[in-house]
Amino acid sequence: MQTPANQSSVPVLTIDGPSGSGKGTISRIVAQRLGWHYLDSGALYRAVGIAASWADLDLSDPSALVRCTFDTNIGFRDDPSGEPRVIVNGQDATDELRTETAGGAASAIAAIPEVRAALKDRQRAFRQLPGLVADGRDMGTVIFPDAGHKVFLTASADERAERRHKQLKDKGVSVTLDGLLREILARDARDANRAVAPLRPADGAVRIDTTGLGIEDVVAQVLDVMSRPAG
């Protein structure tokens, strides 16, 4: 990666939204098309959540979790077929990170201001030439407020639960649709109502409702946003 003298001159596209809105899939494809780097910020929260559960830490003990955040080594790499893998403290934790248990742990630790602060610089370090697509909940509001382009993706809760259900089924994970919908709604409520960096569209973000849209339709809409002058 190439680091310019002034990192803030590196262009950024932020894609925020609730779980299951399609952020991950869309952001990865858009980053590929633009030839830019990609930050999956949710994976960082999930990785710290998993590391905390491996170490049997109390999820309500902020100081232990902050130490865990600094101590957890998180690496990203693509396997030979191009599938992204996440390595946590030297172990491939990709499959474990995708579970709703990991999502729940991530959402619990993500509500702790000190944990969010401890992850700030790690996220900003992804801002490298030729550009960055950053996906999460607070990319446009807190981590890259000066991003030139900002998108907020939404979809109905039912459709988001169905997408997650299909994704997990394809991975051989068995869960009920009803249970998933309940977990998604609980996670939405926690993410939107927390005191620090709550999930909300950044000022100037273009909202795209992906309900009923195919992946390519959404990618086209995001690329259309990118063709507008940076804000």
* Beta carbon of residue 112, minimum distance to ligand C5P (angstroms, whole number): 10
* b/e map 91-125, b = 16+ CB within 10 Å: eebbebbbbbebbbbbbbbbbbeebbebbeeebbe
Please check whether residue 215 is in contact with residue 25, taking contact to mean a CB–CB distance below 8 angstroms: yes
Cβ nearer to ligand C5P, comparing 185 with 223: 185
CA distance 223 to 33: 9
Phi, then psi, of 6 in degrees rounded to 5: -115, 100
CA distance 57 to 93: 18
* Beta carbon of residue 25, minimum distance to ligand C5P (angstroms, whole number): 12
Cβ nearer to ligand C5P, comparing 1 with 192: 192
Between helix 113-124 and helix 62-71 the angle, nearest 10°, is 20
Cβ nearer to ligand C5P, comparing 19 with 34: 19
Out of 37, 127, 137, 150, the only residue in the binding site for ligand C5P (CB under 6 A) is 137
* Beta carbon of residue 136, minimum distance to ligand C5P (angstroms, whole number): 3
Out of 10, 13, 66, 106, the only residue in the binding site for ligand C5P (CB under 6 A) is 106
- The reply on whether position 22 binds ligand C5P by CB under 6 A is no
* Beta carbon of residue 68, minimum distance to ligand C5P (angstroms, whole number): 15
Cβ nearer to ligand C5P, comparing 110 with 218: 110
CA distance 62 to 44: 17
Name the closest residue to ligand C5P (Cβ). 42
CA distance 61 to 112: 9
CA distance 35 to 59: 38
Stretch that binds ligand C5P, among 30-38, 62-70, 131-139, 153-161 (CB under 6 A): 131-139
CA distance 13 to 231: 11
Cβ nearer to ligand C5P, comparing 41 with 69: 41
- The reply on whether position 45 binds ligand C5P by CB under 6 A is yes
CA distance 48 to 126: 18
- Contact residues toward ligand C5P (CB under 6 A) are 19, 41-42, 45-46, 103, 106-107, 110, 136-138, 187, 191
